[in-house]
Amino acid sequence: MESVISKAVRLTTVFFILTVMTGCGMARGVHEVNSLANAVPKANKLAVEIEVFTQDNPPLKPVLFIANVAAHGNGYADKNVLIDTLKEEASKVGAEFVFITNQEISNDEVIGSYGNGVMISNQIKRPHLYGLAGVYSKVRLGANIANDGVIKYVSAESPADNVGLKEGMKVLSINGKYFNNTSLLQREVSNKSPGDVVIIEYLDHTDRKAKVDVILEAVSSTNNE
């Protein structure tokens, strides 16, 4: 009659083989859309068509982030598997690209096995990858603005340049909303259409307040800022 230990070894071995055969290099993807997701048209792209960006290689065009995405892999999943999973989640929410923001490895569940009559526990290291899924904006302002509101760069002959905005000036508000980080640009500028007007209040180089009406223009292949 099969001993309890032998039976446990057999069941553990079968479980381990099935896990390797069915779960090798797999990842589970999740997404969470934000308030902008319903305000912009969705792209109809397959996962293989989704572009991938990193902090070292960010998008060059104005963008709208519409969802948080994540990939949670098993112990055998490599970074390529995780990236493919992020692309699948981005495709589900109608995004055109995914911007990778963070990665980590966590120590998760423990799998036990018998060896020479001794129970051995192995902790599984599970990789995770996180990102932002988004679409490209139809319009451009033509100004690079930091989180503190300071204008870092203004493109020549852009809407921002046409109304006199310059590097070193500080944006105080857009459409009457206090500028506290660059996410305001997405909510008040990037989701607009060509020809729409946004009102920008700022401090000039003499710390004097001023307001301008900026007419947004369409993004083209030659003006991506």
pLDDT, residue 116, reads: 56
Q: Of 9-18, 73-82, 124-133, 158-167, give the lowest mean pLDDT range.
A: 9-18
DSSP 8-state symbol, 85: H
Average pLDDT over residues 15-42: 72
* CA–CA–CA angle 88, 94, 100 (5° rounding): 55
Q: What is the CATH number of domain 25-107+123-136?
A: 3.30.110.70
pLDDT tens string 54-94: 999 998 888 899 999 999 998 788 999 999 999 999 999 99
Q: What are the residues whose beta carbons fall under 8 Å from the beta carbon of 100, sequence distance 6 or more?
A: 52, 53, 54, 55, 83, 86, 129, 130, 131
Q: Do domains 25-107+123-136 and 139-218 have the same CATH topology?
A: no
For 211, residues 6+ apart whose C-beta sits below 8 A from its C-beta are: 199, 200, 201, 202
pLDDT at 178 over 90: yes
- The domain 139-218 having CATH identifier 2.30.42.10: the answer here is yes
Give me the percent of the chain exceeding a pLDDT of 90. Answer: 61
For the chain, what are the domain ranges?
A: 25-107+123-136, 139-218
Return the exposure string of 163-193: e unless at least 16 CB atoms fall within 10 Å of the residue's CB, then b: bebeeebbbebbeeeebeeeebbbebbbbbe
Least confident span in 4-13, 81-90, 120-129, 163-172: 4-13
| Dist. CA 91–CA 67, nearest whole Å | 11
